Structures are given as C-alpha cells and as structure tokens.
Chains A and B, each alone.
Chain A
C-alpha cells in the first residue's frame, strides 16, 4: 500500500513537473483564494482587537445610565434630553446594591479654555472622584482630586493629552499651571494618561475633568442642583453585569415613582452591549471577506477541474496503455485525484505564505494592525485540499471510465 501511494504521488509529481507552467497557472486561483482568506482574516482579527481594546479603554465592567427622553404633550426629546437622573440616585444605588463596586456621575459641556494666549474648545466634565476609577483613568503626572476638594468646590482641573498638546508649548510642564475655563481660573493638578479613540471614534483624550460641585455651581450651571448628565456604575465581576442592570432598573423606577405601564425615563447600557455592536460590524465585514475568498477558491477549483479534463484528453492513450498492462479503474482514479490534490495542496501552501506576507505588508505599509490566525490558516488550507478533491473527482472519474480499446486507438 505504501509503495502504491509512493508511486502514485511520484507519477503525479512527474506529470505536474512535465507541465510546470501549466501547473503553476492552475494553482494561481487557489493561491489567491487561500491567500486572501488568510490576509482578510488577519486584518479582520486585527481590527477586532483594536475594537476590543477601545471597549476595554472605556473602563472595567462599566454600566452607563443616561437620562431618558422627555415627552411633553406628545413631543419627544432625544435621548438624554431630560434631567431625570440625580446625584442622590447614584448615592442611593450604591447604598442599596451590594453588587455595585462604585457609582459615579458626570455632567458635561463644551467650553472655551484659555492658557496664556492660547485657547481651545474642550468638553469639560464635572465628575465625582469615583468616575475616574470606574472609567479606569490613570495619570501621567499629578493625581485626582479628593472628596474634600469636591465638597469645597475647589477650582482644580485634570486635563487630557490632546488639551495639553493644544494649549501648552512642547516641553512645558502644565502641572500646577493656571488655566481659565469660561473665565474661571483653575489649577491643573493632574495630567491624564492617553486612552486613544473610543469605540465611536471620539478622541477620549480631548477632555478636562473638574469636580462635579464646582462645575455645577461655578462653571456649567444647572437648572436644578444635583441633576447629572449621566450616571456610571461598575461591578466587581463581568458576569454580575446583567443582574446589576436589572437591579438598577428596579430601584430607579421605584425612585422615579414610575407606574408599571410607564416606560423607563432612563437608558441602561453596559460595556458589553457597546462592544457587541462594534463586534457585529466586524463580523459582517469578516463574512463578506469570507464570501469573496470562497468565490476565488471556487474559481480556483474550476480551474483545476478544467486543466485536469484537458490532461485526461491529452493522456488518453497513456491511460489506455496503463489499463492494458493491468491498471484497474481505481488506479487511474487515484492517480488523477492525486494530481488534483497535489495541485490544490501546493496552491494552498503557497497561498498560506502569500496570505501571511500580505498581512505583514498591510501592517507595514498601511499601518493596520493584523493578527495571523492559525485557525484561519488551517481552515483555508484544508478547504483548498477539499476543493482539489471535489473538483478532481469528475475528471478522475472520467479517466477511469475510459474504454481501454478506444483509449488505445486514440491519437
């Protein structure tokens, strides 16, 4: 049996080598198919990992609570249009729900910030100290403000890297400097570590944090004291998130005295939900890429079938001789199948090489992150072998069913 396999493979290689140019051209379809699957999946995986790190940059096990839409006489405002959430909601949630590690709150407005002769329009956020912990903000220098500073409505500010870049000259240390936010002087006590883009594509580093009370009373202003732009909460473990969301909903509905038939006057979103939307986009892309790659593998398979059919015709007499000297149908069948599989396997291997090279080139030239997926390599390679097997079947079967006399007489 081993000698049979050896001779079959040897014969197949000999023939493919005899028609080297043709063999190479035949495999190009498979090379492109496998190569594009691997390159595409690598790019897709790379993009996915970027999204994942963006989602992770939002914080750890975070729950976002936005005020709901107002509805006044049938006219509905947009999301966040109402001021239904308050600081006491946040404090009460933390008190009642042991599953929550922390709750925080924020209120934001875009304002002009001035330093020396430079000015810059920045979203200024009044926040509770806990907000920084929920969102996992860290510092390149300085540090957060304290509860006491918040109580005292201190004029202290934490600024993001983008703000630093726009207000200060290079090499200047902003720490301890005074900036004016809406003409109110603030001392910079912390520089935030950069986070990069949010999943929505916003620059998360273009930001200033000041104590919530200071914002409310001295800068942003408010209709009612204690109303917030958004509430934040976090849990100890990711698997606690769904339960925490339900608990928060229940307590907030109680606190807001909503009757059962009334809709929520707030919206709850977890980090997991946000990530899922982004990953969904990535998956659509991956499916599209996969179908393009599958089509080129299909075309490659048809190419192999075509060339094998030509080969069967060309070698009709040889097949006749082989049959006359004792080859049985399965011998001829296996021989042609071996050629098909060797062609597709060689194409698959070259495709793997080109795919990896393509992914690397994408990273080098376009700067896109790529992750070479071993799984994709295996699947694409096995798929190419299967293509050879399936598309080789028809020509091989045709060859094996030749009538030896007709085959011998064929010129």
Chain B
C-alpha cells in the first residue's frame, strides 16, 4: 500500500521581476496515514509554500505529488477545490472563523459546500464540536469565544468532513502558552485516538515536540527528518 502523501522532486519557482525565486528546491517527502508530523523552519525556509502545495491550495512548478494515490500536481483549480473539500482539513494561524456566524454554523460550512443535507450538517457539526470539548458553546459567535476556543472551533471545522489529513499552519501562533498546550493536546488526542494524520507547521520547538516526527526545512529543502519521542499529553487531558 502506498503512502498517504508522496512528494517527488517538488520545485516551486516564483518570478519576482527578472529574478526567479526558488521557494522549494526538489523536495521529496513520504507521510504515512496516521502520522503526526511537525514541519519546522524559519520564515523563508519554504515551509508555508510546501504547506500550500500539500493542502492543494497551490500546484508545484515541477515534480509529482500524490495524495491518497491521486495525482494532484496537474489538477485544475476546480478539481483542487473538490480534493480540499473531501480530504483536507485546514487550521490556520489567524482565527479563521467567519465572523457573525455561530460556532455551529462555522463547523457546518465544509459540509454545506459538500452538499450534505442540513440535518446531517447539524448532527455532524455538533459531534465535531463535542469532540473538541465545545458542545456547550455551539451558539456562541467567534467574538464571544477566547482565542483557544476559537481555534478549537477551527479544529472542529477541519474534522467535520472526516478528512484524510489535517493541515495546521502555525495553529498556536496567536495563542498564550496554556491555550497552545490545549490545542496541541487536542491534535495529539485526535492522532492517537482517531488515527487521524496531522501535519503542523510551526517554528516553535516546544510545539513541534508534540509530534512523533519532525521535519526541518531550510532554503527550500528538507535538512532534517527524524522521529522523536512526543511530549506527554497528560497535561492536556484536563479540559476534555
């Protein structure tokens, strides 16, 4: 059986004026289903570009990318939208909830775009919110929730479509330490209990420490890829 994510010689080149900028220089990467991976690197290392390509928001300039055995590198924008909708759950750094829209409705949104019936949308969104410990906050608006709670709603929204992989781009970047630990605890729990594949992009070591595998990028290439002993999640279970 092939891996969940297979990248071969991925290049991404931007043109800035007359200069070609190589954001990615021949990245090779395999990620198996059920892994918890942290992608690290300073800004400009190419980790965000890699994330965009892995998340099917962008296509590589050259190279091959198979997601779930499907060739994504040559997909058209509409096909990418379909793949994002079915197989990827995003969690962004900035609170990415739609404002003036309740937590429940935010979580329903991916299912709405899939054309799921309203009744099923509600049931699954309620379940996803319960999974991140926010069953009692369904009808709150984003502005009424703390940063950590908002990010948990975002995780529920990523979960609700039952994706093959969750991509989190600096999910704790705007959170205080306690909330950050909470969020990472949830990712770890989802990974361990539900077998969900989780990819976290971060530049903080203690956040990356929750993952079982760390990939370090620099200048558009992977310079280190190694398994680690993840931080004990015990401290994070108190809120569930």
List residues of chain A with CB under 8 Å of any chain B CB: 3-4, 6-7, 11, 14-15, 18, 318, 321-329, 331, 404-405, 408
Contacts and interface: CB of A to CB of B under 8 A. Distances in A.
A18 B161 contact: no
Contact of A408 (B85, B92, B109, B110): B92
B81 A323 contact: yes
Contacts of A326: 81, 84-86, 109-110, 113-114, 161
B113 A328 contact: yes
B113 A405 contact: no
Nearest to B114: A326
B219 interface: no
Contacts of B92: 321, 324, 408
5 contacts: A4-B112, A318-B99, A322-B109, A326-B85, A328-B78
Contact of A321 (B77, B82, B86, B98): B98
Contacts of A324: 55, 57, 84, 90, 92
Nearest to A11: B101
A322 B109 CA distance: 8
Q: Is the interface of B mostly helix, strand, loop or mixed?
A: helix
Nearest to B86: A326
Contacts of A322: 98, 109, 113
Nearest to B97: A321
B118 A325 contact: no
A3 B112 contact: yes
Contact of A3 (B85, B100, B118, B161): B118
B103 to A, nearest CB: 14
Interface of B: 52, 55, 57-58, 77-78, 81-82, 84-86, 89-90, 92, 96, 98-101, 109-110, 112-115, 117-118, 121, 157-158, 161
A321 B96 CA distance: 7
Contact of A4 (B89, B99, B115): B115
A323 B86 CA distance: 13
A323 B115 CA distance: 15
A324 B92 CA distance: 10
B164 to A, nearest CB: 14
A70 B1 CA distance: 111
A18 B99 CA distance: 10
Nearest to A318: B98
A14 B81 contact: no
A405 B118 CA distance: 29
Contact of B57 (A318, A327, A408): A408
Given A328-B78, A405-B52, A18 B100 contact: yes
A132 to B, nearest CB: 76
Contacts of A404: 57
A18 B157 CA distance: 23
Contacts of A7: 112, 118
